[in-house]
Structure 1
């Protein structure tokens, strides 16, 4: 267990660097506990599965991708479910990481309304995905496509999904052993990466091509 008085955003970063992440029993819980699963979910950045329908809807639907426009709102929306592990302590800690530049949100907006997104933590060339939500069909998938494009453009090598769900598995996430995960993490922590290498206004076609491993990454983060 970790108490609010003892745990800081910097200590949380050290926990991620050692391969563990926090959760709460529910939204009202006061304490957190640490998880280091025997089997870890990861999404290989060059093996994302994007169906023809998802690719078509990503290009044609009316929505906007934004980055870090409403980090707090994204975390709050991720917590709005019947069973959540996001409590007040999680909100406090990740708000601190966001202010430090280590926590980010990728958001889907429609008519100036937040309809989907995800958030996670960056450290070295690793992105630790924390949670995602949808208020519109496939909105969380759209956010994940945009995230993978951004991570590839920025030189990231590890996308940690923590666990595997049917939703993530359909997009290419796989399980690896704890030992394999720690080896990949150690390698990623030694590498530099830039979450903002891709311009915020990158067109959706460029995002899709990068996520599908079809696009070339130029010096400005876009296809030349």
Structure 2
């Protein structure tokens, strides 16, 4: 995707404070709106995650190399490259800043022709807030999701937030929980963060 127009930056502490309260931003035609859905999408990390049989066969073929944080901006731009997007210049630059500070991460699928898909999100405490995903080649975003879940499990994460539940995520075991139940899980996953946030360790080899 080509460049965005000049953008404001959402201060990192504002973004992180919002996530700690279960709130996230989206942009629509230049207007920034904050959301806290009544029903929240989550993917279980305690055994409820399901890899469809067809994807299991694809994973054995290893069509992509899964990397972390090698092209965060490119991953966001891939997610934004659609007819209608909620990722504008403000969102892009704000999350790229969070990435530089160690809070936002990308999981990327690469092949000999470059970046073919992936996802990005924000990590805080033992919670990963999934933001968006994209594919240029078949199954790239799905394979990135599998890589994310494997890493979160290895790091002892407790909550994988998908914001809203889609049919695509439901096939992986995604479920909806009421806002009060989500807030309960979020509080546990954040632990004693308060307002003094520290970026969690995340990413293979880190």
**Structure with the greater relative contact order (CA < 8 A, sep ≥ 6): 1 or 2?**
2
What is the aligned residue count? 193
> Does the 8 Å contact 1:125/1:191 carry over to 2?
no
**Hey, what does 2:57 align to over in structure 1?**
56
**Hey, what does 2:3 align to over in structure 1?**
none
Instruction: Map Cα deviations across residues 9-41 of structure 1 (whole Å, 9 max, x no partner).
Output: 121000000110000114xx1x31100000000
**Hey, what does 1:15 align to over in structure 2?**
18
**Hey, what does 1:211 align to over in structure 2?**
none
Partner of 1:69: helix, strand, or coil? coil
**Hey, what does 1:173 align to over in structure 2?**
174
TM-score w.r.t. structure 1 length? 0.82
> Does the 8 Å contact 1:64/1:109 carry over to 2?
yes
Q: Structure 1, unaligned stretches of length 5 or more?
A: 201-224
**Hey, what does 1:90 align to over in structure 2?**
91
What is the distance in 1 between the residues matched to 2:121 and 2:154? 17
> Does the 8 Å contact 1:155/1:194 carry over to 2?
no
What is the distance in 2 between the residues matched to 1:58 and 1:79? 26
What is the distance in 2 between the residues matched to 1:41 and 1:51? 19
Moved more, 162-171 or 45-54: 45-54
What is the distance in 1 between the residues matched to 2:134 and 2:108? 10
Q: Supply the RMSD in Å over aligned alpha carbons.
A: 1.7
**Hey, what does 2:185 align to over in structure 1?**
184
1:110 Cα deviation from its structure 2 partner? 1.1
Alignment of 1:1-224 (within 5 A): 4=8, 7-26=10-29, 29=30, 31-45=31-45, 46-190=47-191, 194-196=201-203, 198-199=204-205
TM-score w.r.t. structure 2 length? 0.89
What is the distance in 2 between the residues matched to 1:151 and 1:190? 16
